[in-house]
Amino acid sequence: MKLATQFEVFFNTRGEFKDLDLTLDRMADAALEAGVNDDIATHTIHIAGTNGKGSTALFIEQILEHRGYKTACFTSPHISCITERIRLSATDIDISTFDEYFTQLKPIIERHKLSYFEGLTLIAFKYFQNNKPDFAIIETGLGGRFDSTNILNNKLPVITSISKDHEEYLGNDILKIADEKIAIIKNNLLVFIGDNTEYMNKYLNYKLDHKTITRANYDDAPYNGLDAPFSNNLKLAEAVCNFFGYGDIPNDISLPACRNEKIGRFTLDGAHNEDALQILAKRYAKTKPVVVFSSTIDRDTDKLLDIIKTFASSVVITSIPENNRSIDIDTVSQDIIKEKDPEKAIKIAVELSENADILVCGSLYLCAFVREILAKGTL
């Protein structure tokens, strides 16, 4: 694994989820020492949810940039380089600037024992604060209540679709998961809600009866060239932007990498939980692609595989490259093809597919790895 930045070298042996202690105390204390507070932008848009956070954040960024605003955007994970997570005016922070901010903040990161994601959050917030954007679009990393981004208080909260995910950390009770997500709302009176099930919408209406809830008109129809669920995420993003002033949206709006990204006959889609895979099941019910899949240890792999089997002609399970949270495929009892080496798994899929499509899903990190292989043209 190529470590592009001093930050990654520093955190290489520590691990993002190692000894994870869910609290905001470390982050709040570090931000206070760094002089970081709610002034990271004129307006802050804070996004939580299970699915759709990344695309909603990118759509908001594109719309606001199109309307002439200066934006800052903090998202995760990255696909090719860590600097993708921190953007100003729709441009990734350059590596030298990222390293300068890390060097400046490293003593604080060490003193407060910040995790990988907390350290990234501190760097992003300081960078935004120094550059004074009109809007900061901030995506939570895990959950909401104790996510490091939730040190922000004055903001416009946005909740995308909610389903089960990261059950090792958030539990498997969908309503408790919802409670963790909506905890980002805090004392803010207005909240934007994305496309959810009727059951979840009723619960959110009950829990947020003292708030003003805004939803867009969600359906399964294409919108501005995008199919569901991205069409509904775009409607949500447009509604959020229109709160600050009406305007049009770009005709050439784009999806994040590895979200329904087509490269030749490969499709890369980081769908990694039950709800996201059910959407893929509808999309691929007739075409029956060969599926290359992996997952992290905090998910119910058997349930995910059961969904995939409903629409795949064949399934190849593999490991997430260079990721200590990857599932051990030897523990999977299902009758599917197993290959630990993801590059070999892709080659097996090519052999199995003949002229059929190949879908890579279950992990954005796996999709990013395959994306690099396809870019090299070695298959």
- CATH number at 286 reads 3.90.190.20
Write down the mean pLDDT value for the chain.
93
Report the candidate in 284, 271, 232 with the shortest Cα–Cα distance to residue 366.
271
The reply to whether 251 falls in a domain is no
Helix (H, G, I), strand (E, B) or coil at 269: strand
221 and 298 housed in the same domain: no
Cα 347 from Cα 50, distance rounded (Å): 31
Cα 77 from Cα 84, distance rounded (Å): 8
Range 30-57 average pLDDT: 97
Where is the domain boundary, 215, 243, 271?
243
57 and 172 housed in the same domain: yes
pLDDT value at position 15? 53
226 and 114 housed in the same domain: yes
Say whether pLDDT at 16 is over 80.
no
143 and 69 housed in the same domain: yes
Say whether pLDDT at 47 is over 50.
yes
330 and 365 housed in the same domain: yes
84 and 179 housed in the same domain: yes
202 and 320 housed in the same domain: no
Contact indicator for 369, 80 with CB cutoff of 8 Å: no
Range 291-302 average pLDDT: 91
Say whether pLDDT at 322 is over 90.
no
CATH number at residue 129: 3.40.1190.10
pLDDT value at position 169? 47
The reply to whether 119 falls in a domain is yes
Cα 101 from Cα 104, distance rounded (Å): 5
The reply to whether 279 falls in a domain is yes
The reply to whether 254 falls in a domain is no
The reply to whether 165 falls in a domain is yes
For 114-173, what is each residue's pLDDT tens digit?
999 999 999 999 999 999 999 999 999 988 999 999 999 999 999 999 986 545 545 568
**Percentage of residues in the chain having pLDDT higher than 70:** 94
356 and 275 housed in the same domain: yes
Say whether pLDDT at 306 is over 90.
yes
How many structural domains does the chain have? 2
The reply to whether 253 falls in a domain is no
22-26, 62-66, 125-129, 200-204: range with lowest mean pLDDT: 22-26
217 and 325 housed in the same domain: no
Q: Which domain holds residue 19?
A: 6-243
181-185, 214-218, 297-301: range with lowest mean pLDDT: 297-301
233 and 298 housed in the same domain: no
Cα 69 from Cα 66, distance rounded (Å): 7
The reply to whether 38 falls in a domain is yes
pLDDT value at position 355? 82
97 and 138 housed in the same domain: yes
pLDDT value at position 10? 94
Q: Peptide bond before 229: cis, by omega within 30 degrees of 0?
A: yes
The reply to whether 32 falls in a domain is yes
Residue 308 region by backbone torsions, left for phi larger than 0, else alpha for psi between -120 and 50, else beta = alpha
91 and 138 housed in the same domain: yes
Residue with tokens 């953007």: 87
Q: Per the structure block, which two tokens stand in for 34?
A: 């760094």
Range 104-122 average pLDDT: 97
Strands (E), the chain: 43-48, 71-74, 86-88, 91-92, 135-139, 156-159, 190-193, 212-215, 261-263, 266-269, 290-293, 314-317, 337-338, 358-361
Contact indicator for 305, 315 with CB cutoff of 8 Å: yes
For 214-266, what is each residue's pLDDT tens digit?
999 999 999 999 999 999 999 999 999 999 999 999 999 999 999 999 999 99
Cα 299 from Cα 166, distance rounded (Å): 6
